[in-house]
Amino acid sequence: MKFKTKDILKFQQYIAECNRITIITHYNPDGDAIGSTVALYNYFKLIMKDVHLVIPNYLPYSIEFLVSQTEYTIAEAEFKKAKKRLQETDLLIIADMNANQRAGENLEKVLNEMQCPKVLIDHHIGPQQFDLNFSFPDASSTCEVVWNVLYRLSKKKVFPINISEPLYAGIMTDTGSLSFSCNAPELYIVISNLLKSGIKANKINQKIFDTYTHDRLNLLGFAISKKLRVFEKQRAAFISISAAELKKFNYKPGDLEGVVNYCLKLENVDFCALLSERDNKIRMSFRSKSEDIDVNKFANKYWKGGGHIMAAGGKSFLSLEETVKILTNQIYKKEFIVK
């Protein structure tokens, strides 16, 4: 990962000149979002007192253990507090999101009005330009980028456990336990350095991946056995789940995490989607296992979203039925291949 010396110097200067750091990440945060922000929080906490994390809406239960030592505000639960914190902060770190709008509508307005220096640390395609951008779309995860930034800032390779553990957790969630975005030798050097701090990789893996409730496992079974549609000729598949169906399985945020990846396990599928009716809209996840299918472009062109070449998200404000109809049509026409 190549950094400009002047960018690191500028970041060091921002840190030296500020008293109050706030870190923010994207709406519906995943393991990489929480891992990267918690690691940054614990790093800055070593050098300054007033550090705070703003989480836009909720915390998935499988990664709650990461925030046990973190001061944070969930903006949707305590919006006034989050807004005040952001307005009073004098350095903002934006991690694992590439634009203010990814924090959700209400926070976007607050972020747009902030005057303090803003530093982006991220791996999504097409970032908004901030005062400083550490944007590496080829990186496996924001956590990998964070390790690289902290290494340049501190000249240290091995950090305390409360920094290494969330970074490891984020890398594992964003690479599906090193099964995708996992070809770069440099990534394994980062992981090796994280392990040197004494974290227990097996225990963290268990906490992130093996914490299903019985309802969640049943929901997964239902999604695969009853809701999967495969289009053999187009090498595509999708799963769609209604709000009523989610309710039947006592859906909790995080329960659909990873479900989309099961469609890609089919040998005759290169493109897949998960549609779920949540928060008065249809949330969509797209995955690809072929370099020719850029789901970031597809999500961007048709579904108000984006992300990465092989993993992206989008949304629809139509009904689930209508959304399914349009997507089905797009699959028949192979419109998921956007050049």
Which residues in this chain contact Mn ion in the complex, by CB under 5 A? 32, 96, 142, 174
Residue closer to Mn ion (CB basis): 174 or 257: 174
Cβ at position 263, least distance to Mn ion in Å? 20
Residue closer to Mn ion (CB basis): 142 or 234: 142
Q: Which residue is nearest to Mn ion (CB)?
A: 32
Task: Determine how β-strand 271-278 pairs with β-strand 236-241.
Answer: parallel
Residue closer to Mn ion (CB basis): 171 or 324: 171
Among 289, 288, 284, CA closest to 299:
284
* DSSP 3-state of 326: helix
Burial zone of 108 (CB within 10 Å; 0-12 exposed, 13-18 middle, 19+ buried): middle
Residue closer to Mn ion (CB basis): 116 or 176: 176
d(CA 199, CA 179): 21
Do 303 and 314 meet the contact criterion of CB atoms below 8 Å apart? yes
Cβ at position 54, least distance to Mn ion in Å? 17
Torsion of CA 138, 62, 299, 266, to 10 degrees: 90
Residue closer to Mn ion (CB basis): 142 or 162: 142
* DSSP 3-state of 191: helix
Cβ at position 32, least distance to Mn ion in Å? 3
Do 38 and 96 meet the contact criterion of CB atoms below 8 Å apart? no
Q: Which residues of 303-335 are buried (b: 16+ CB within 10 A; e: fewer)?
A: bebbbbbbbbbbbbeeebeebbeebeebbeeee
Residue closer to Mn ion (CB basis): 33 or 284: 33
Report helix angle 142-154 to 185-196, nearest 10: 70
Cβ at position 74, least distance to Mn ion in Å? 19
Do 22 and 93 meet the contact criterion of CB atoms below 8 Å apart? yes
d(CA 75, CA 26): 11
Cβ at position 274, least distance to Mn ion in Å? 17
Cβ at position 135, least distance to Mn ion in Å? 12
Cβ at position 30, least distance to Mn ion in Å? 7
Cβ at position 324, least distance to Mn ion in Å? 27
Residue closer to Mn ion (CB basis): 70 or 142: 142
Residue closer to Mn ion (CB basis): 32 or 270: 32
* C-alpha distances out from residue 71 to 49, 67, 178, 235, 240, Å: 11, 8, 30, 46, 36
* DSSP 3-state of 82: helix
Residue closer to Mn ion (CB basis): 148 or 234: 148
Cβ at position 36, least distance to Mn ion in Å? 8
d(CA 295, CA 284): 11
